Amino acid sequence: MLAGTGSDVGKSIIATALCRILKQDGYTPAPFKAQNMALNSYVTKEGAEIGRAQAVQAEAAGIPCHTDMNPVLLKPNSDHTSQIVLNGKPFGNANAYNYFRKEGKKKLKEAVQQAYNRLRTRYNPIVMEGAGSICELNLAEGDIVNMSMARYAGADIFLVADIDRGGVFASAYGTVMLQKPEDRERIKGLIINKFRGDLRLFESGRKILETLCGIPVLGVIPYYKDIYIEEEDSVDIAAKAFNSEKGKINIAVVLLRHISNFTDFNTLERDSRVRLFYTSNKEEIQKSDIIIIPGTKSTIADLIELRRNGVAQAIINAQRAGKTILGICGGFQILGAEVLDPNHIEGDTEKMPGLALLPISTTMEEGKVTKQLSFTFAKDKGVKQRNKMQGYEIHSGITIPYQGAALTSLFTKEDGADEGVIANGNVMGTYIHGCLDNAAFIDFLLSPFADKAAESKSLDYHQFKELQYNKLAEHVRGHLDMKLIYKILSND
């Protein structure tokens, strides 16, 4: 288990690296995180929902992702409540106080243990990941993801500490010493992450930590900037701010309060023809060539905010000026004439006018569509050599034509069903996440502005990701004592 002295210390990225390293060394590893909290999720081939981090780790391990790798997913609805996704399907909603109390956790605890049992019959070793800090003593009785899971699995724990944020000696020592004696024995080594500078300067620090904590420092991992692994959280996307460039197609992703599945834009962001940024500034949006409204966990709340801050009108003005507008999932719903919520799925607002750039109406419903799919351009129906593309759906709500309007479909699914809408030549909406991982759709989206960008070849995102996993594995392997790690895991 990769456990942490705190949140955002790099547990997920080191787990990803170890999945690839173990695969390279001839093992069949699989990731496991009993409980994850993230809006950035993914759909398995069975049509179930898991945290994006475990999907990335599975990809690094070279295996299909499965809900057993992340049996409990918490998707925040607000600062205080979350949707609980259990074994890939919505289980209910809970506020933080009720969820983290000991009472009521028995069912979830049994579910994560059963998922782990199934997983370990198929893969070896299991690369487990804890959540946040393993020293949340006030929440320990209701814990299903950290020490209680390590005890159940009989896991060796490698404690990850972030030296970049400071206080690494106190956080590492305090985390070890605050454990119960039997749990302390499980912690077999320290991994110091995000080191900046000359590693030789930390040699004495390494020895001090080993003396204080009574366990070896398994490695000191330098901070890196040139390796790109899909992120679990949207912490850093606001930093990708407006910077219009000549010779580039400028794309604004609207920075929604409840943005989800922002990994939809990873491929596009790395296209050499493009300058992509996130913004909620009206002027920046109107200066862009393409505006994308992304997915959201709270469509109506974000639509209300877009109207309040003037961004909705800025998008409408941009469309009238000939800019391209694309909505994905919740963004697709926002582009419609109205969003209805008669059963109060999202809140108290039962009806909210949309931007009316697409002639559609969406009604929120309790159920959720989750599936992977293949699709082609609707305009290519009847064409022998069609561009077959891949993506996935995760959405609530039913979308139909507004007041019987005739719709022009954007895509055709593999079963022949219509999907998405295109209107006025420059407004598009779709429920398909991952559509922008396909070179054919990116080229289609950029084509009206082709004269602005220097010619270049579309990015093969699969090859790009494989290269990044290998670079990450090389970086981490070069700074971890893998010989000692294998010795610990072999109980030698």
Are both 272 and 417 inside the same structural domain?
A: yes
Residue 99 covered by a domain: yes
* C-alpha to C-alpha distance for 271 and 452, rounded to whole angstroms: 14
**Tokens of residue 23, six digits:** 């695969």
pLDDT value of position 148: 95
Q: Indicate the DSSP class of residue 464.
A: H
Are both 310 and 190 inside the same structural domain?
A: no
pTM for the predicted model, two decimal places: 0.85
Are both 156 and 290 inside the same structural domain?
A: no
pLDDT value of position 140: 86
Residue 461 covered by a domain: no
Are both 261 and 352 inside the same structural domain?
A: yes
Are both 315 and 209 inside the same structural domain?
A: no
Q: From residue 140, give the alpha-carbon distance in Å to each of 36, 129, 132.
A: 16, 16, 12
pLDDT value of position 360: 98
Range of the domain at 51: 2-229+466-489
Are both 266 and 351 inside the same structural domain?
A: yes
Are both 300 and 332 inside the same structural domain?
A: yes
Are both 207 and 254 inside the same structural domain?
A: no
Phi, psi of 452 (to 5 degrees): -85, -20
> Is residue 479 annotated as part of the catalytic site, yes or no?
no
Region 107-136 average pLDDT: 96
The amino acid at residue 312 is A
Model confidence band, residue 81 (pLDDT cutoffs 50, 70, 90)? confident
Alpha-carbon torsion (89, 92, 96, 101), positive or negative: negative
Tens-digit pLDDT profile for residues 183-203: 999 999 999 999 999 999 999
Tens-digit pLDDT profile for residues 202-221: 999 999 999 999 999 999 99
Contact 333, 362 (CB under 8 A): yes
Percent of the chain scoring above 70 in pLDDT: 92
pLDDT value of position 241: 57
**Tokens of residue 56, six digits:** 């990335």
Residue 458 covered by a domain: no
Residue 224 covered by a domain: yes
Are both 444 and 473 inside the same structural domain?
A: no
Are both 36 and 184 inside the same structural domain?
A: yes
Tens-digit pLDDT profile for residues 45-78: 999 999 999 999 999 999 999 999 999 999 887 6
* N residues, the chain: 492
Alpha-carbon torsion (55, 60, 65, 70), positive or negative: negative
* C-alpha to C-alpha distance for 281 and 370, rounded to whole angstroms: 32
Helix (H, G, I), strand (E, B) or coil at 246: coil
Q: Which of 66, 258, 395, 433 is catalytic?
A: 433
> Is residue 433 annotated as part of the catalytic site, yes or no?
yes
Q: Which of 258, 329, 395, 435 is catalytic?
A: 329
Tens-digit pLDDT profile for residues 429-470: 999 999 999 999 999 999 999 888 766 666 788 899 999 999
Residue 397 covered by a domain: yes
What CATH code is carried by the domain that includes residue 159?
3.40.50.300
What contacts 201, CB < 8 A, 6 or more positions away? none
Mean pLDDT check: name the lowest of 135-139, 354-358, 482-486. Answer: 135-139
Number of separate domains in the chain:
2
